[in-house]
Amino acid sequence: MSIYKIRFGTPEEFVPTRFAPKPLCEVIDGLPAGITIDGKMTRRGVCLTMPIDGDAGVYGFGLQLRGFQQRGKKKTIRSNADPLSDSGDSHAPVPFFVTTSGWGLFVDTARYVSFYNGKCKRRDTGAHADAAAERREVALTTEALYAAVSAGADTVMTIEIPFAPGVDVYYFTGKSILDLVSQYNMFSGGGCMPPLWGLGGFYRCCGKFNEEQVLDIARRFREYDIPCDILGLEPGWQTCAYSCSYLWDREGRFPHPEETVSSLVEMGFHVNLWEHAFTNPTAPVYEALKPYAGSYEVFNRGLVPDFTLPEAQEIFAAHQKTLCDMGITGFKLDECDGSDYTGGWTFPDCEEFPSGMDGEQYHNLFGLLYAKTLLGALGERRTWSEVRNMGALAASYPFVLYSDLYAHKDFIRGTVNAGFSGLLWAPEVREGKTAEDLIRRVQTVVFSVQALVNAWYLDRMPWEEFDCIDEIRRLFRVRMQLIPYLYTAFFDYRATGKPPVRALVCDYQDEREAWDCDDAYLFGDAMIVAPMVAGERERRVWLPHGVWYGFFDGKRYDGGWHTVVTDEIPVFVKEGTLLPLAEPVSHVTEDTQFAITLRAYGDCSASVCRLTEDDGVTVGAPMRVLEVCADTETVDSVRYRIAGHEHITG
């Protein structure tokens, strides 16, 4: 397991490593023996070529909602809010990929890089098929035609980095995809650590609600006894939002913001505020920000701050600091991805920012630099915020991605894919077309990194439309049961880079079935989640070798393919797992002590369950991991107590 660095030409000034935290791992200069990457400076920029095994799987490139296995495809990774096809456009494009051949590659650039993933053949290399292959059968569909004559064993990996006079490339080696991805995350500064409350339920209120309506939603959560930790306010808290004033609408919807926030906090909610960076002339920071902004406006006269500059960060963060001081603990940093397809907003790629960065580079770095600005304002307080654009080396950022798109299957694929590139993604729930649709979506989101319901355009809670409040309550209670388990998965993310949610191929690449599995994922080390979407009465689920148990029904499964028929979300737990299940609480406080039932799956005589304890809210707070066994009766901990034991035998 190692990381190697090689330089071609003279790299550009604005590259992801410049803004990243210090790597938490060694980097060796030069490539390992026997590995070559050809690099050429061309009139189009840098062009890299390298061999790739004939049958290697390729994964990554950031939050790819439309594609999973990238072998044989061209991906141009561009920041874009509404990718229309499997082209590489993404809310969070990342120039990093991993292969099943024990290596991965990070290209340190903020350009719209094109990756030809074993898609093209070089004339003088590779084992070409002999001429007899030309006598192949005549294909009568375009699919069959191109499958027969294109990608194959003699293709290479070709990477084109436009405009750049040079680039640094990091070559990762490792024995599995999990190794490669974990190293990339450690290279990015280690995985982020959420506050404990961040793992609870999260509800975003309708954008036009006034303070009374928001308080009413808060009260209703407690009355319905649906667990919820975070309430988000959408644009209406501000006097104007497209572009943003960052001022409470005191004469309209929010006459008493301080009291409102205090009341919500007293009811046990964390408050999250929506904003974006495009700054309206009425914003108090506008004049000071002008010299540190781009030359184009976005939305209604909105300045685009150049967050590369410390001055812009400082001036802009002033309003966030004020809001944090009144009790706000999270933000939704919207619209920083830009769109080529919806509406006329965003700045062009040819924009010239005061720092010297151009629009193309800023599109790929905007979300990350915006998030960094906010972290400065939050200081020592941990957050679990949202952002709609991220990029390279983002693992240490406690920000979860989301989208305006809404295809449930794409959302599941996003959940599977995000972990390849140090990203977090919430398959957020908005409305349901039917109760079944709503429930299927809630099932997925409670098994993700952020249990988010984004009701930004809904007058009523989406489950009030249907008679399913009991079911929704039950699902959010399941989420609360899993907080201790998930918290330790995040502890590992921070300490080792291992993503808490990841594709099956990360851990099980020796089993070929895992290679194409884009509709099931690991949730922590011990659970496999295989969501279902509305209209599906049953689904096929592949489980890796060994023995697994249904999380909801305790049924025993051997590795292999199964047809599962259930209204429940199919979730499986690995044999030998000692799962810590908490008695659900309505929300997490700093003093919460979880009553844990240790549920043993199969033979757990040698198993250990790890529980992570810290203050749950402070950046860098000391952490302790307690280890308990199947027969442990008591633990010396303020955060946990053992309340019971269960044994699942199938």
For residue 519, which of 454, 484, 564 has the smallest C-alpha distance?
564
Residue 584 binds ligand GAL, judged by CB under 6 A: no
Contact mark string toward ligand GAL, 163..202, x via CB under 6 A: ----------------------------------------
Q: Least distance to ligand GAL from the beta carbon of 345, Å?
A: 10
Q: Least distance to ligand GAL from the beta carbon of 335, Å?
A: 5
Using an 8 Å Cβ cutoff, are 324 and 275 in contact? no
Using an 8 Å Cβ cutoff, are 482 and 581 in contact? yes
| Strand spans (E) along 311-428 | 328-334, 385-387, 399-401
Q: Least distance to ligand GAL from the beta carbon of 274, Å?
A: 5
> Based on CB atoms, which residue is closest to ligand GAL, 200 or 235?
235
> Based on CB atoms, which residue is closest to ligand GAL, 425 or 491?
425
> Based on CB atoms, which residue is closest to ligand GAL, 334 or 437?
334
Residue 82 binds ligand GAL, judged by CB under 6 A: no
Q: Cα(117)–Cα(140) distance, rounded to whole angstroms?
A: 26
> Based on CB atoms, which residue is closest to ligand GAL, 274 or 491?
274
Q: Least distance to ligand GAL from the beta carbon of 103, Å?
A: 36
Residue 462 binds ligand GAL, judged by CB under 6 A: no
Q: Least distance to ligand GAL from the beta carbon of 260, Å?
A: 19
Specify the pairing of strand 58-62 against strand 93-99: antiparallel
Which residues have CB under 8 Å from 173's CB, separation 6+? Answer: 1, 2, 3, 4, 32, 102, 103, 180
Using an 8 Å Cβ cutoff, are 497 and 191 in contact? yes
**Residues 426 to 455: which contact ligand GAL by CB under 6 A?**
454
Contact mark string toward ligand GAL, 200..229, x via CB under 6 A: -------x----------------------
Residue nearest to ligand GAL (CB): 456
**Residues 235 to 274: which contact ligand GAL by CB under 6 A?**
235, 274
For residue 24, which of 174, 192, 184, 194 has the smallest C-alpha distance?
184
Q: Least distance to ligand GAL from the beta carbon of 457, Å?
A: 8
> Based on CB atoms, which residue is closest to ligand GAL, 454 or 612?
454
Residue 334 binds ligand GAL, judged by CB under 6 A: yes
Q: Least distance to ligand GAL from the beta carbon of 287, Å?
A: 26
Residue 330 binds ligand GAL, judged by CB under 6 A: no
Residue 234 binds ligand GAL, judged by CB under 6 A: yes
Which residues have CB under 8 Å from 545's CB, separation 6+? Answer: 508, 511, 559
Residue 594 binds ligand GAL, judged by CB under 6 A: no
Provide the 10 A C-beta neighbour count for residue 474: 15
Residue 404 binds ligand GAL, judged by CB under 6 A: yes
Beta bridge partner(s), residue 579: 599
**95 CB-side CA count, 13 A:** 28
Q: What is the 3-state secondary structure (H, E, C) of 418-446?
A: HHHHCCCECCCECCCCCHHHHHHHHHHHH
> Based on CB atoms, which residue is closest to ligand GAL, 308 or 403?
403
> Based on CB atoms, which residue is closest to ligand GAL, 104 or 235?
235
Which residues have CB under 8 Å from 147's CB, separation 6+? Answer: none
For residue 91, which of 317, 425, 436 has the smallest C-alpha distance?
425
> Based on CB atoms, which residue is closest to ligand GAL, 455 or 520?
455
> Based on CB atoms, which residue is closest to ligand GAL, 207 or 354?
207
Looking at residue 338, the DSSP 8-state letter turns out to be: -
Residue 456 binds ligand GAL, judged by CB under 6 A: yes
> Based on CB atoms, which residue is closest to ligand GAL, 168 or 334?
334
Q: Cα(600)–Cα(127) distance, rounded to whole angstroms?
A: 52
Residue 335 binds ligand GAL, judged by CB under 6 A: yes
Residue 360 binds ligand GAL, judged by CB under 6 A: no
For residue 257, which of 211, 218, 206 has the smallest C-alpha distance?
211
Q: Least distance to ligand GAL from the beta carbon of 275, Å?
A: 10
Contact mark string toward ligand GAL, 270..309, x via CB under 6 A: ----x-----------------------------------
Q: Least distance to ligand GAL from the beta carbon of 451, Å?
A: 16
**From the centroid of its chain, how far is CA 576?**
29
Q: Cα(77)–Cα(349) distance, rounded to whole angstroms?
A: 14
Q: How many residues does the chain have?
A: 650
Site residues (vs ligand GAL, CB under 6 A): 207, 234-235, 274, 334-335, 404, 454, 456
